[in-house]
Homo-oligomer: A and B are copies of this chain.
Amino acid sequence: MEEKAFKKYLKEKGLKSTKERELIFKEVFSRHGHFDPEELHMGMRKKGLKVSKASIYRTLPLLLESGLIKQVEMTEKHAHYEHTLGRNHHDHMLCISCGGVIEFYSEALERLQNRICKKEGFESVTHTLEIKGYCGKCRKRRK
C-alpha cells in the first residue's frame, strides 16, 4: 500500500504517524470517487472508528501536500459571479515557473467540449480549463 508514502512524507516533515492519521488515510483510499470531509467523517463513524472532524480537517491538507490526494472543484469559499453581457470566454495556461498567465481561446476546443457534453446528456453552462506547465520563455531557460 501507499501508506508508506504517507508515512515517509510525515517523517520528512517532522510530523508523527498516529493511529488517527492512519485511519483517515485508509478511509480515503477505501473510496473510489470524490468525497468531502463530512462524508469521510460519517463513513468512519459508521465503521465505529472515532476520529474527530478536526483531525480530518487537519489531515486532508497533509494528504494534499504529499500529492496523495488532489482537490477537485477548486472551491473558493464564496460565491463569484460575473455578468453575461459583452465578456467573451477564454481559458488559461499557467506557467509553473514564472507564474505567467496566457489566455487563449479555441473554437475547435469549444466545439469538442460541446460534443462530449452532448454525449453525456450534459448541458454545459460554463467551464474552466487551466493548463499548467512551462511557457516558451521558461522552457528555453530550463535547457
Contacts and interface: CB of A to CB of B under 8 A. Distances in A.
A31 interface: yes
A31 B55 CA distance: 41
A74 B136 CA distance: 23
Chain A contact surface mostly: mixed
Nearest to A109: B112
Interface stretch (A10-18, A42-50, A77-85): A77-85
Task: Report how many copies the assembly holds.
Answer: 2
Given A68-B83, A76-B74, A82-B70, A131 B127 contact: yes
Interface string A12-29: 000000000000000011
22 contacts: A31-B83, A33-B101, A34-B82, A36-B81, A38-B78, A63-B81, A63-B83, A69-B82, A72-B128, A73-B75, A73-B80, A75-B80, A93-B117, A93-B120, A106-B116, A113-B131, A121-B136, A122-B136, A124-B132, A125-B133, A127-B131, A128-B128
Given A33-B103, A127-B132, 11 more contacts: A29-B85, A68-B83, A69-B84, A71-B81, A72-B130, A73-B76, A73-B101, A75-B76, A93-B120, A123-B139, A126-B132
